């Protein structure tokens, strides 16, 4: 994917230049993505960091937003601990397990778990996605200074330093040292809606499908204490062809659960 870095305003230029150097991408200066034709996508640095397709008819940007929009709506009206993801990680009563999201992506599930009361660590290997996550966490922390509800969530949500391989990182952890490990490897999307095509095609092109996802299973199960949870499309095969101890199915997806020790009642 052709990708460069731009600034939306002069004040953002120093950060944009530094980010371009860090990611080893071309810096195009202060520019409007609608007027760019030399690359297909840009990382726009301004009030927010966002991945934006270039050209006049480009769809909207991809960014990490933990403060407003979908994240805010789900935090307020998503169903609380009755959500399947809460049940999948073993949340019940006053038990809120510490979770490592080893394939954090845009951090949506990690934020949900943190908003429900879990301490969540996010691990991400793609450098561009990690930069988007880092920007989203910083804006959450800024908003948290004036919002007590967000402050408690921000205190529970942490982005770990970027790694080249989540499987290698997990392999280096002591056995049974992480209460719950959550995996949501990228799977080729079968969704045909125009919304997915317009809003997420850039992200899918950037990340691709995780061809090495099966390698996550053995080190994850070895490193977890309570369980490893794998989020999958409803009809997708088991990760690493390993049958789960139990599964929670929804309309379009499911959570495969690999248990080691029972969660407290």
For the chain, the average pLDDT equals 91
How far apart are the C-alpha atoms of 195 and 150, rounded to whole Å? 29
Q: Residue holding tokens 């305003």?
A: 9
Cα diameter, the chain: 58
Handedness of CA 75, 77, 78, 79 (dihedral sign): positive
pTM: 0.92
184 marked among binding-site residues: yes
pLDDT, residue 198, reads: 54
Annotated binding-site residue? 147: no
Strands 246-249 and 253-259 come out as antiparallel
Q: Is 124 one of the annotated binding-site residues?
A: yes
Per-residue pLDDT for 10 more than 60?
yes
CA-CA-CA-CA torsion sign (61, 66, 72, 77): positive
pLDDT for the residue 82:
87
Residue 109 to residue 219: CA distance in whole angstroms:
21
State residue 73's pLDDT score. 74
Query: H helices of 78-224, where?
Result: 84-88, 108-116, 127-144, 148-156, 166-171, 194-207, 217-223
DSSP 176: T
Give the pLDDT confidence of 20-66 residue by residue, as tens digits.
999 999 999 999 999 999 999 999 999 999 999 999 988 889 999 99
Please report which confidence band the pLDDT of residue 3 belongs to, taking 50, 70 and 90 as the band edges. very high
CATH assignment, 69-259: 3.40.50.150
Task: Report whether 234 belongs to an annotated binding site.
Answer: no
CB 232 within 8 A of CB 187: yes
Compute the Cα dihedral for 22, 25, 27, 33 and give only its sign.
Answer: negative
Is 26 labelled a binding residue? no
Digit-coded pLDDT (tens) for 100-114? 999 999 999 999 999
- Predicted confidence (pLDDT) per residue in 238-257, tens digit: 999 999 999 999 888 999 99
How deeply is 189 buried, as exposed, middle or buried, from its count of CB atoms within 10 A (0-12, 13-18, 19+)? middle
The answer, yes or no, to whether residue 188 has pLDDT greater than 80, is no
Domain ranges of the chain: 3-53, 69-259
**pLDDT tens-digit map of 78-98:** 778 889 999 999 999 999 999
Judge contact between 203 and 156, C-beta under 8 A. no
């Amino acid at each position: 994917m052709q990708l460069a870095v731009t600034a939306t305003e002069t004040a953002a230029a120093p950060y944009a230049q530094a980010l371009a150097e860090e990611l080893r991408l071309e810096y195009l200066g202060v520019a409007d993505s609608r007027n760019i034709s030399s690359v297909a996508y840009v990382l726009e640095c301004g009030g927010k960091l966002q991945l934006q397709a270039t050209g006049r008819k480009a769809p909207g940007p991809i960014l990490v937003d933990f403060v407003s929009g979908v994240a805010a709506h789900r935090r307020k009206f998503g169903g609380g601990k009755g959500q399947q993801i809460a049940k999948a990680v073993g949340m019940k009563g006053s038990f809120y397990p510490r979770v490592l999201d080893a394939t954090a992506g845009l951090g949506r599930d990690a934020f949900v778990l943190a908003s429900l009361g879990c301490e969540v660590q996010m691990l991400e290997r793609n450098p561009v996605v990690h930069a988007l996550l880092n920007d989203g966490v910083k804006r959450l922390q800024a908003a948290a200074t004036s919002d007590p509800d967000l402050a408690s969530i921000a205190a529970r949500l942490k982005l770990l330093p970027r790694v080249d391989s989540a499987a290698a990182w997990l392999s280096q952890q002591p056995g049974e040292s992480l209460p719950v490990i959550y995996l949501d490897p990228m799977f080729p999307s079968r969704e045909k809606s125009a919304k997915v095509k317009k809003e997420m095609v850039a992200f899918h092109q950037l990340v691709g499908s995780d061809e090495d996802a099966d390698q996550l299973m053995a080190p994850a199960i070895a490193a977890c204490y309570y369980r490893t949870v794998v989020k999958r499309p409803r009809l997708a095969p088991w990760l690493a062809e390993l049958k789960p101890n139990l599964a929670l199915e929804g309309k379009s997806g499911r959570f495969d659960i690999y248990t080691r020790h029972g969660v407290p009642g």
